[in-house]
Amino acid sequence: MCYNISNTVKEEKTLEKRLAASYPKKLGQLSILYSVSGFTHPELPILTQDTPNEFQLYSWGLIPRWTPNADLAVTFANNNLNAKSETIFEKRSFAEPIQKSRCLVPITGFFEWREVNRIKYPYYIKMKDNEIFCLAGICDTWMNKTTGEVLNSFTVVTTEANALMAKIHNIKLRMPVILPQDAEKKWLAPNLTALEIKKLMTPLDDRLMEAYTISKRITSRSENPNVPETIERMEYPELSFMDALGLF
Q: Where are the alpha helices (DSSP H) in the chain?
A: 12-19, 70-79, 92-95, 97-100, 163-168, 184-188, 194-200, 237-245
Mean pLDDT of 100-123: 96
Predicted confidence (pLDDT) at residue 247 exceeds the cutoff of 90: no
Longest dimension (CA), the chain: 60
70-106 per-position pLDDT tens digit: 999 999 999 999 999 999 999 999 999 999 999 999 9
Closest of 13, 11, 58, 57 to residue 30, by C-alpha? 11
Structure confidence at residue 240 (pLDDT): 78
* 215 domain-assigned: no
* 63 domain-assigned: yes
- Residue 84's domain comprises 4-115+131-208
Total-model pTM: 0.95
Predicted confidence (pLDDT) at residue 65 exceeds the cutoff of 80: yes
Q: What is the DSSP letter of 14?
A: H
Structure confidence at residue 190 (pLDDT): 95
* 104 domain-assigned: yes
What's the CATH number where 46 sits?
A: 3.90.1680.10
* 197 domain-assigned: yes
Q: How many domains does one find in the chain?
A: 1
Structure confidence at residue 1 (pLDDT): 79
* 227 domain-assigned: no
Residue 220 pLDDT class (50, 70, 90 cuts):
confident
What is the sign of the dihedral through the CA atoms of 85, 87, 89 and 93?
Answer: negative
182-212 per-position pLDDT tens digit: 999 999 999 999 999 999 999 999 999 999 9
* 73 domain-assigned: yes
Predicted confidence (pLDDT) at residue 116 exceeds the cutoff of 80: yes
* 233 domain-assigned: no
- Give helix then strand counts, H and E, for the chain: 8, 13
Mean pLDDT of 105-114: 97
Mean pLDDT of 217-223: 89
Mean pLDDT for the chain overall: 95
* 164 domain-assigned: yes
